[in-house]
Structure formats: C-alpha cells, structure tokens
Amino acid sequence: MYYDLHIHSALSPCSDDTMTIHNIFNMAYIKGLQLIAITDHNSLKQQTYLEQIVQNKILKGHIDFLHGVELQSQEEIHVLAYFQRGTPLKPIQQWIDQHLIQVPHQPDYYGNQYIFNAMDEIIAEENHLLLSSLDLNIYQVIEAIHQFQGVAVLAHVLAKRYGIYEIYHDIPSDLSYDALEVTCPKEYRDLKKKCPHIDDEFIFINSDAHQLEDISEPFYEIDEEQLQRLWRKALCRKSP
C-alpha cells in the first residue's frame, strides 16, 4: 500500500484552511495513495468522521486510514501515535487534554484550529493552542501511547526543531519507540551514520503535509503483513 502517515488538517494551526478532511482524502486518492493518517498536533478531535468519509462511493475500497496524532513532549520532541480503526478515541483525547499545557489560542497569530464534520462544515474551533507541549517527557508519552494500544513513531528525527536528535544528540537505546520517521532515504542514511545502534526495523518516509499539494506522491509502500508486525511489536511493549 502506498502511504502517507503524517498529514495535518486545518485543526493544526500551522496548516492551511483548505486542509479539510474531505480534501485530504480526495487529494490522497487522486495521487494514488492507499493508506493515510491525519495527525494533528495534540488532538484527535478531527478523527470522528473519517470512517464516514472512506465509506463514500468514490473512496470505498480504495483508501484506508489509521487514526493518528502528533504529540509534543515537554522537551519539545514530536512523536506520532497511530491507532487502529475502531479504537476508542475519547479516553485518549481525555488524556491529551489532561496533560496539554493550557495556552489560549490566538488565531490571528497562529492560524485557525477548525474541526469539520463529514460534510466539511466547521462545527467547532479549538480554543487552546495545540502547538503547546504536554507536561510529560518523551518516555512517559511513549509509555502512554502503548497503554492505549497505539504505535509510537519518533517524528522527523533529524529536524532542527522538534526532532529527537536535536535534543539528545542521539536516539536513546532505552527508548521504547516502535518506528522512526525521516523525510527521505538520504536522511535515513545520515541517521544510520550518526546512530548506528538504532532500531530500524520500521522506517517511515512521510510528507508532514500542511497544504494539499504537499501530500506525498505514491513513492513509499507498506504491506498488510508489515503493518501487523508493527502492531504486534507495539502491543508487546504495553505494560501489564
């Protein structure tokens, strides 16, 4: 399956207002992708209507999705959390709300934080700034993702902001992440030179799209068997 598992909707304040959930799925379909994840900053509130969208007559059977969110630890490290379709999201959102450092949102400065329904109608706006950090370190964030039976992916690991390498100048070997995200194959080769000890069983190359045109072309693939191995790996890390 051709994938892009790091896409921001208009709920993320740094994303374009045209990033409605319909527009995202339709652009992904036009580009030939078969699996996507909408991964807004510190929020799952855009995920409610995704199941409805993939059941329409154009998309049904052609494109699948994972539930996703991009969490920010107190060190300002970004980690992608993926959850399977059918996962109860309300308890996870309650946990995020409990730990998100509360900063009032300023739309004129940061951009809008829109929540859409299945018709791409704005039904709400998030009032707390989603670019804030959680009050938990990266170890605690990843542990919580596993408690919710999710997969933890260290996002854009070599980025100068929000990548784990910038903070630790390494990828700690005792960190129980499930996969790594890089922006291109060259970045993976650079990462391997810097951190030869990394667990590189699963490497994702995603777009981190904030505009429709940035959504990935069908270059990178993952198959169902690999996905199942990834879920099993994550579930094995879940504490009793």
| 109 exposure class (CB count in 10 Å sphere: 0-12, 13-18, 19+) | exposed
Model pTM score = 0.96
C-alpha span between 170 and 158 (Å, rounded): 10
Residue 223's domain comprises: 3-237
| CB atoms inside a 10 Å sphere around CB 175 | 17
Instruction: Return the axis-axis angle of helices 224-237 and 138-147, rounded to nearest 10°.
Output: 110
- In the DSSP assignment, the letter for residue 82 is E
Question: Quick one: which of 134, 138, 130, 133 has its CA closest to 157?
Answer: 138
Q: Sorting pLDDT into bands at 50, 70 and 90, what band is 237?
A: confident
- 181 neighbors 156 (Cβ within 8 angstroms): yes
pLDDT at position 46 over 90: yes
Q: What is the mean pLDDT of the chain?
A: 95
- The DSSP secondary structure of 31-78, one letter per residue, reads HT-SEEEEEEET--TT-TTHHHHTTSTTTTTT-EEEEEEEEE-TT--E
pLDDT of residue 239: 58
CATH of residue 184's domain is: 3.20.20.140
C-alpha span between 136 and 206 (Å, rounded): 25
- Per the structure, how many domains does the chain have? 1
Average pLDDT of 176-196? Answer: 96
pLDDT at position 71 over 70: yes
